[in-house]
Amino acid sequence: MINIALPKGRLGEKAYAMLEAAGYECNSIKEQNRKLIFENPEKGVRYFWVKPSDVVIYVERGAADIGIAGKDIILEYSPDIYELEDLGIGKCRMAVAAKKDFCDRRDRTLRVATKFPNIARSFYSKQSREIDIIKLNGSIEIAPILGLSDVIVDIVETGKTLYENDLEPKQDIVDISAILVANKVSYKFKNAEINAICEGIRKNITK
Ligand code: PRP
C-alpha cells in the first residue's frame, strides 16, 4: 500500500484528479463527509487529507510514502525528502509587497511580516539587509496597513488580495508550484510502485 498525503483544499483536489487520471482512483474520496483517510486496496493506494503545511512532516517521517507539497512549504521547512516531480499546478510566486507609497530606507531595520520567516530571512540576508521578522499565521496583508510591518513576504497568485488592500508587489522572490515529494526510505523500498505513480502522473503535466 502506498500512503499518499494530499493537501486539503483546491490544490489537493487538483492533485488527486491527476492521480485519478493516472489510474489511482479512490472513489470513496468524493463522498461528502468528514473522513480524512480513504483507500483503494485494489489499486494499492491510501489517501489522506492533511493541512498543506503538514504534508512534508508526514512524508519526512514516513507516515506518508509520497505527498503533494507546495514549493513554498519545502523552501520554508527544508525537509529531508525527495522532490520527484513538479506537477505544474498551484502556480504562484513568493513576493515582497508593501503599501503603494512605501519608500524603503536602507539605513533602517526593515520590519517584515510573514508566514515564511526562513524564506524571508534567506532572501534579505543575501542582500545583507537587516530585518525584523514578525511571524504571522494568515491575513498577512493587514500588517502594513495597520503599521505592524513595513513590508510583507507572502504568496501572490492573482494579485487580487494585494490590490484590494491597496498594496502592491515590490520584488519577486521565487516561483512556486506543487511538487510530488517522497519519503527517502519509501523511495528505496517501494521504488517500483512510486515510479509507476510518477510515470502515470507525468503524462498529464502541463508546465
Ligand atoms: C494566500 C496568500 C494571499 C492570497 C494570495 O492566502 O497568503 O493572502 O492567498 O492570493 P491572490 O494573489 O490570488 O489574491 P490564503 O488564502 O492561503 O490565506 P491566509 O490569509 O490564511 O494566508
pLDDT in tens, 144-194: 999 999 999 999 999 999 999 999 999 999 999 999 999 999 999 999 999
pLDDT-derived band at 33, boundaries 50, 70, 90: confident
Q: What pLDDT score was predicted for residue 109?
A: 97
Pocket test for ligand 1, best of 155, 165, 175 (most atoms within 8 A of CB): 155
Cα(134)–Cα(155) distance, integer angstroms: 16
Dihedral through CA 150, CA 156, CA 94, CA 13, nearest 10? 140
pLDDT-derived band at 206, boundaries 50, 70, 90: confident
Q: What is the mean pLDDT of the chain?
A: 96
Helix, strand or coil, per DSSP, at residue 200: helix
Report the pLDDT averaged over residues 59-71. 98
Q: What pLDDT score was predicted for residue 203?
A: 87
Question: 56, 45, 69, 142: which is closest to 99 by C-alpha?
Answer: 142
Helix, strand or coil, per DSSP, at residue 43: coil
Tell me how far the alpha carbon of residue 155 lies from the centroid of ligand 1, in angstroms: 6
Pocket test for ligand 1, best of 73, 136, 157, 173 (most atoms within 8 A of CB): 157
Question: 111, 126, 115: which is closest to 154 by C-alpha?
Answer: 115
Dihedral through CA 26, CA 197, CA 22, CA 203, nearest 10? 160
pLDDT-derived band at 3, boundaries 50, 70, 90: very high
Task: Give the global pTM.
Answer: 0.95
With b for 16 or more beta-carbon neighbours within 10 A and e for fewer, the 114-141 pattern comes to bbbbebbeebbeeeeeebebbebeeebb
Strands (E), the chain: 2-7, 37-40, 45-50, 66-70, 82-86, 92-99, 110-114, 131-135, 151-156, 167-176, 178-182
Report the pLDDT averaged over residues 86-110. 96
> Which residues, at least 6 apart from 74, have a Cβ–Cβ distance to it below 8 Å?
56, 81, 83, 179, 181
Report the DSSP pairing between strands 2-7 and 45-50.
parallel
If phi > 0 it is left, if psi is from -120 to 50 it is alpha, else beta; for residue 166 that is left
Q: What pLDDT score was predicted for residue 207?
A: 67
Question: 197, 153, 146: which is closest to 172 by C-alpha?
Answer: 153
Q: What pLDDT score was predicted for residue 6?
A: 98
Instruction: Give tens-digit pLDDT for 125-153.
Output: 999 999 999 999 999 999 999 999 999 99
pLDDT-derived band at 119, boundaries 50, 70, 90: very high
Atom number in ligand 1 closest to CA 159: 12
Tell me how far the alpha carbon of residue 24 lies from the centroid of ligand 1, in angstroms: 30
Report the pLDDT averaged over residues 53-59. 98
> Which residues, at least 6 apart from 123, have a Cβ–Cβ distance to it below 8 Å?
96, 153, 173
Query: Which protein residue has the closest C-alpha to ligand 1 atom 21?
Result: 138
3 contacts 65 by C-beta, under 8 angstroms:
yes
Tell me how far the alpha carbon of residue 75 lies from the centroid of ligand 1, in angstroms: 17
Q: Give the pocket of ligand 1 (CB within 6 Å).
A: 138-141, 154-161
The two most distant CA atoms of the chain are separated, in Å, by 63
